[in-house]
Structure 1
Amino acid sequence: MKNIVHKWSQISLVKRILLGIILGILLAVTVPDAASWVSILGSLFVGALKAVAPILVLVLVMHAISSHQSGKKTNMKSILVLYAIGTTLAGIVGVAASFLFPVTLTFASNPEDIAPPEGILEVLNTLLFNLVDNPVNAILNANYLGILMWAILLGFALKKASDSTKTTIANFSEAITKIVKWVIELAPFGILGLVFDAIATNGFSAMKEYVQLLVLLLGSIFFVALVINPLITFIYIRKNPYPLVLRTIRESGLTAFFTRSSAANIPVNMALCEKLGLDEDTYSVSIPLGATINMAGAAVTISVLTLATVHTLNIEVDFWTAIILVIVSAVSAAGASGVAGGSLLLIPLACSLFGIPNDIAVQVIGIGFIIGVLQDSCETALNSSSDVLFTATAELAKNRKMG
């Protein structure tokens, strides 16, 4: 049995998830009644995600802020500005694409008593009161806005803590991330159950929805990679950005596509920065930091999946609420876990803006994992290649001004 488990874990997660999708479809088509127990796997997977997401947000953000240290004089300020601009514009692209090409989803249960906000004032009212929620209550009720606020406050409060305390927080953060990895290792079985349940209940109409959602997500990601990022780069360096953009996609994005982890792609990005002749004092900080906070692809994913949920539940969204969603998507993306599918776990945070229950938001995470074979790979490719692109852009812009 141990050898079987080891061999199974040696197969790439993408291949295992594909196998889960295929088996789910086959069982739903051939023996939907006899294999009804399979849907339990999907419920257990969703339950595990629901359990780990609140504590993940708290610990990751708290650790990121408390461990930040100001280092040597580098070009980091410009790079951080580029990271922020890129992630925010990606959120805008996701929101705009969702309004231009609205997609709806099918849930196992649609709540009847959901009370969508009537306008910007109600959204702000909900936002403010969720921010000052009791921290224990916030975790128990999956109030992600409250969790995020407490994580930020605790992070700043612990910035001057002793090294031993920061080490403890770092170890705890690593432990939570490891638990998330364990949960995600179960994704093939969970997705098997989710696909089976979706097709056995709703037929192949659910698969059509997944394809439409995937096209919308990938279209938005490609637009950011091939239009938005080159435009930002051009504004800074004032010359054709595409040689640099395409090189970062080819030498960084392609590897990240298969590893599906910005953290795992750090050595690749560091080597590419060295090839590009960038300042080591800068990229040795900007690349690891970018793997944590430069998450344009995650901003697209969070905004698109949240608005797909909003459209499904017929919730009206005004202009100012959409702007708040862009900001929340960008901030949430910056706190996304570096593991495969990490951005999906932050969707409940954005959904909470619209009064969407956690039960529904977690179902959206499940749908995200179904399409994640391609979506998460492309998202990570965009995230990781942008780390090198913006690091190089900041240095080229600095050299242009000095020259």
Structure 2
Amino acid sequence: MSLPDAAAVRAATAVLDGVAWRTPVEGSTSLAEQVGGPVLLKCENLQRTGSFKLRGAYVRLSRLSDAEKARGVVAASAGNHAQGVALAAALLGITAVVYMPLDAALPKVAATRQYGAEVRQVSADLNGALAAARADAAQSGRVFIHPFDHADVVAGQGTLGLEILEQVPDVRTVIVPAGGGGLLAGVATALSETDVAVVGVQAAGAAAFPASLAEGRPVPLERLSTMADGIAVPAPGEVPFALVQRYVDDIRTVSEEQIARALLLLAERAKLVVEPSGAAGVAALLDAPETFEPPVVVVLSGGNVDPLVLLRVIRHGLAAAGRYLQMRVRVPDSPGALATLLAALAESGGNVVNVEHARTAVGLGLDEVEIGVELETKGPEHCTRVLADLRTRGYGVASTALG
């Protein structure tokens, strides 16, 4: 098994000259206040194709022999690697076929086609797409381009780490989202000749690295459950795993609520659109800001998010931040009762976004109706005030769920 070193990452930088953009780093005052020192966001969500994946894909494809290039390439991806391979292939004049899960985000599928690749949606998950791509390679002779488990791919992803060193020379900690580990391994390898701490972050519902590191080998997960499809990978690759073992200082996990809150913060405070996987590093920072030595650089690994998913995640983030209040209120079954309740909520400063009216419910009196109300609030304290105001007015709040 060939493992890249820091020199290999430096060589990959030359390959990517004029191909991958040098993405900006942006300071975050709100995060810096929590950490107690500078926090900067490495905006790889602004990279060509919307993620870091172009780096590794282009380095891998550029090093194929002429005969391999003539046969074409095949890949499997939930979206970001698909776009990276598609664009790299187009730039190098190589034909590309990409297998994607049936539920892959529509914008990612459309973008992959627009970059020139043939897209085939074949399975319910990434494992099925990978199996189909491997079978295609065996039958057609196309070169299989793994999303993370190859030395050239890891070296290409690692160029992001060298950019961080140039842009933030005094960086002490770099936080990197991780799925199969290609980006994490690449960044850690790029920084292996320094004393910068590298921390990987996985979604709790797709965290293969902790158990794998404990076992000393890649151990596949039996089940994946996360909105962060970009890092929903059942097992680390052999190449990334060996490098993560050697160079990464820590692996953290974050919940779906933490990812949603991080995505919301990035949209509101940093004015950046980031996909759930790309926000994982910020989620880890928010979870335990005092544990990271500043200056901290957090990698925003991608920004390819379906607008419909973004709406749901932002709403989830608002709930996780205590800015949604769901409750069921019992009122007399009489004309004007609903209007009176809504007026009371308006006076309390809550913005009603949904109302349900039920006349049949367990324990409901014949002269009562139950009103289900969902409203936007200004935070947990405001939620508490709204409930207290309703109870002062004599309303019976049957149940509540503070977001």
Q: TM-score range by the shorter chain?
A: under 0.3
TM-score, normalised via structure 2 length: 0.25
TM-score, normalised via structure 1 length: 0.25
Q: Which has the larger radius of gyration?
A: 2
